[in-house]
Amino acid sequence: MCTGRVDLAFLHRAFSRGIDGVVIAGCLLGECHYITEGNYGTLSMTLLFRKLLEHIGVNPERLRLEWISASEGMRFAKVMNDFSKKLKALGPLGKGEGLDKNELKFKLEAVKNLIPYIKLVERERLRVRFDTVEEYDEFFSSDEVNKLFQELIVDKLEMSQIMAFLREKPLSTGEISEILGKDPSEVSIYLNRSARQGLVRFDESQKRFVAELG
């Protein structure tokens, strides 16, 4: 299968099922068997997903992308052995990062709810065409991309996380702040924004916010 067929949803599904790490191995850049050169798109998608993992507290090194030709069996074996050692050093998914099982579940659920939107952002605002991996690395670590990531994705991701928590049970601003590790004033901004959109409401009887499920 061409690496261009690999979708953000595939990566998310793997981590949601508790997989400790994912390797994507594809044709060398410039040697794609298809005119679409899907491996370039996969490189962009992988770098973006690594940023998402890092933002929710998961070590981005759990996702690895390697360019390996069909004749490089020895190199493939070395890559897999090295990655296995890396995962053992990192520890189990979540536990190695100090995230409890439920916390990781909610964070990944928040990402899942935004995958169609994130794919649109990647295609419309972050899809670039360079010749080398180094150029892609430089682009995705640039101030320009970090700013776009914050403005277009992070804010929506924070709101998605809050919604995931509230669908589980009503929570106060302080309780949400403690769960997310964020300042209450920042959480209030997200809650007020969600309330204006009709996603949450403040329940006076419980003195907590609840999700609007209808």
**Three state DSSP letters for 136-154:** HHHHHCCHHHHHHHHHHHH
> What pLDDT, on a 0 to 100 scale, did the predictor assign at position 74?
92
CA distances from 95 to 43, 60, 63 (A): 27, 14, 16
Task: Give mean pLDDT, residues 59-80.
Answer: 91
> What pLDDT, on a 0 to 100 scale, did the predictor assign at position 164?
86
Looking at every residue in the chain, the average pLDDT score rounds to 90
Q: Which residue has the higher pLDDT, 153 or 2?
A: 153
Question: Does the pLDDT value for residue 37 go beyond 80?
Answer: no
Task: Give mean pLDDT, residues 166-194.
Answer: 90
Domain positions in the chain: 3-168
> What pLDDT, on a 0 to 100 scale, did the predictor assign at position 147?
95
Which pTM does this prediction carry? 0.85
Taking a C-beta distance cutoff of 8 angstroms, is the pair 43, 82 a contact? no
Task: Give mean pLDDT, residues 118-140.
Answer: 91
Question: Does the pLDDT value for residue 214 go beyond 60?
Answer: no
* Helix 101-121 × helix 8-16 angle, to 10°: 180
pLDDT band at 180 (very low <50, low <70, confident <90, very high): confident
Taking a C-beta distance cutoff of 8 angstroms, is the pair 93, 18 a contact? yes
> What pLDDT, on a 0 to 100 scale, did the predictor assign at position 34?
66
pLDDT band at 131 (very low <50, low <70, confident <90, very high): confident
